[in-house]
C-alpha cells in the first residue's frame, strides 16, 4: 500500500489544495494531530506518506512528474492512494493508470462534472473530459456520482458518450449494487473530490455546492466500493486546509477518514 502526496494545482491561479499533503504529514498543530491520529486513527498518513514533487509554476512539467511517478507505482502492482492537490492531478495519474491497466474502471465523486472543453494541460475543470477523449478510460467504464452543478456543454458531452451519472440519489443501496456489479473484475480507480459532500460536512473547498451528499451516504458507497476485489487506487482532492481551521478541520478529518478506510480495505 502506497500513500502519495501530490501537491499540484492547475486551477487558473486558485491556490489552497496544494497544502493538504503537508497538513497531513507534518500535522503542525496539536489540533490537527489530535484529529488525524487520535480521532481518525490515521497515524500512517504522517509516517508513510511520500510525495511527488511538483513545480506549480509549470503545468507541463508538473503533469509529467505526476504521470511518471504514478506509472512507477502502478507498475509495482501495490494499491495506491494519492492525496491532492486539486482535481487536475487525476488526469496524469489516470493516463498512467490506463496504460498499465487495460480494463480501467473509474468511479468519480464530485459536485461538478469537470467536463468543460479541455486545455492542453487539463485543469481541475475539464480533466474528466480529457481522460475520456484521450481514451485513458472508456466512457462506458466511467460512473459519476453526486454531481449537482453541470454546464450544458458538460451535460451534452456526458450524454453523447454514455457516461452514467448519478445526481440526486434516492436509493443508496441500489446505486451501490449498480456500481459494484459494473466495476467487478475491472481495475477500479476511485476519485473523490470532497466537494461532493454537503458543505455542512466539507466546508473547506474551493467551490462549495449546496445540497450535497451526507457524510454517512458517501461512506456507505465507499465502503461498498472498497470491498471490490479489483480495487487498485484512490485519490482524494480539493481540500483547502487553510480554510478549514475555523471549522475545526472538519474537512481534513473527513478526507483523512476516507484515506484511512481505503488503507484498511482488503
Which string of x and - marks every residue 90-109 that binds Mn ion (by CB under 5 A)?
--------------------
**Contact letters (x/-) for Mn ion, 186-205, by CB under 5 A?**
-------x------------
Q: CB of 193: closest distance to Mn ion in angstroms? A: 4
Size of the site for Mn ion (CB under 5 A): 4
Nearer to Mn ion, 36 or 128 (CB): 128
49-51 and 104-109: which strand pairing? unpaired
When asked if residue 18 is in the footprint of Mn ion (CB under 5 A), the reply is: no
Smaller CB distance to Mn ion: residue 21 or 122?
122
Does 126 interact with Mn ion (rule: CB under 5 A)?
no
110 binds Mn ion per the rule CB under 5 A: yes
Of 8, 19, 25, 87, the one binding Mn ion by CB under 5 A:
87
**Full 3-state SS string of the chain:** CEEEEECCCCCCCCCCHHHHHHHHHHCCCHHHHHHHHHHCCCCHHHHCEEECCCCCCCHHHHHHHHHHHHHHHHHCCCCEEEEECCHHHHHHHHHHHHHHCCCEEEEEECCECCCCCCCCCCCCCCHHHHHHHCCCCCHHHEEEECCCECCHHHHHHHHHCCCEEECCCCCHHHHHHHHHHHHCCCEEEEEEEHHHECCCCCCCCCCCCCCCECHHHHHHHHHHHCCCCCEEEEEEECCCHHHHHHHCCHHHHHHHHHHHHHHHCC
Q: Which is nearer to Mn ion, 151 or 264 (CB)?
A: 151
Piece of 110-118, 139-147, 245-253, 255-263 that binds Mn ion (CB under 5 A): 110-118
Residue 76 CB, nearest approach to Mn ion (Å): 27
What is the per-residue binding string for Mn ion in 128-157, x denoting contact by CB under 5 A? ------------------------------
* Minimum CB distance to Mn ion, residue 239 (Å): 12
Is 195 or 260 the residue whose CB approaches Mn ion more closely?
Answer: 195
Among 18, 65, 114, 154, contact with Mn ion (rule: CB under 5 A): 114
Cα-flanking dihedrals φ and ψ of residue 88, to 5°?
A: -65, -20
Q: How far is the CB of 238 from Mn ion (least distance, A)?
A: 6
Residue 244 contacts residue 52 (beta carbons within 8 Å): no
Kindly list the residues in this chain that would bind Mn ion in the complex (CB under 5 A).
87, 110, 114, 193
Amino acid at each position: 500500500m502506497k500513500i502519495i502526496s501530490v501537491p499540484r494545482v492547475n486551477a487558473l491561479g486558485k491556490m489552497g489544495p496544494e497544502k493538504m499533503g503537508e497538513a497531513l504529514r507534518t500535522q503542525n498543530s496539536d489540533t490537527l494531530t489530535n484529529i488525524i491520529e487520535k480521532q481518525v486513527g490515521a497515524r500512517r498518513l504522517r509516517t508513510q506518506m511520500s510525495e511527488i514533487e511538483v513545480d506549480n509554476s509549470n503545468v507541463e512539467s508538473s503533469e509529467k512528474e505526476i504521470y511518471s511517478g504514478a506509472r512507477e507505482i502502478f507498475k509495482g502492482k501495490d494499491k495506491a492512494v494519492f492525496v491532492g492537490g486539486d482535481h487536475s492531478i487525476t488526469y496524469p495519474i489516470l493516463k498512467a493508470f490506463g496504460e498499465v491497466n487495460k480494463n480501467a474502471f473509474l468511479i468519480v465523486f464530485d459536485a461538478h462534472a469537470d467536463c468543460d472543453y479541455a486545455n492542453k494541460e487539463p485543469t481541475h475543470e475539464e480533466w474528466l473530459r480529457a481522460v475520456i477523449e484521450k481514451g485513458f478510460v472508456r466512457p462506458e467504464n466511467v460512473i459519476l456520482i453526486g454531481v449537482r452543478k453541470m454546464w450544458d456543454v458538460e451535460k451534452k458531452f456526458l450524454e453523447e458518450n454514455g457516461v452514467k451519472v448519478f445526481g440526486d440519489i434516492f436509493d443508496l443501496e441500489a446505486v451501490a449494487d449498480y456500481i459494484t456489479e459494473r466495476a467487478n473484475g475491472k481495475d477500479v480507480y476511485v476519485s473523490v473530490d470532497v466537494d461532493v459532500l454537503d458543505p455542512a460536512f466539507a466546508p473547506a473547498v474551493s467551490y462549495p455546492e449546496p445540497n450535497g451528499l451526507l457524510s454517512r451516504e458517501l461512506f456507505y458507497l465507499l465502503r461498498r466500493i472498497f470491498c471490490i476485489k479489483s480495487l487498485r487506487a484512490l485519490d482524494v482532492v480539493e481540500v483547502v486546509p487553510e480554510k478549514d481551521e475555523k471549522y475545526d478541520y472538519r474537512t481534513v478529518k473527513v478526507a483523512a477518514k476516507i484515506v484511512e478506510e481505503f488503507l484498511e480495505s482488503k
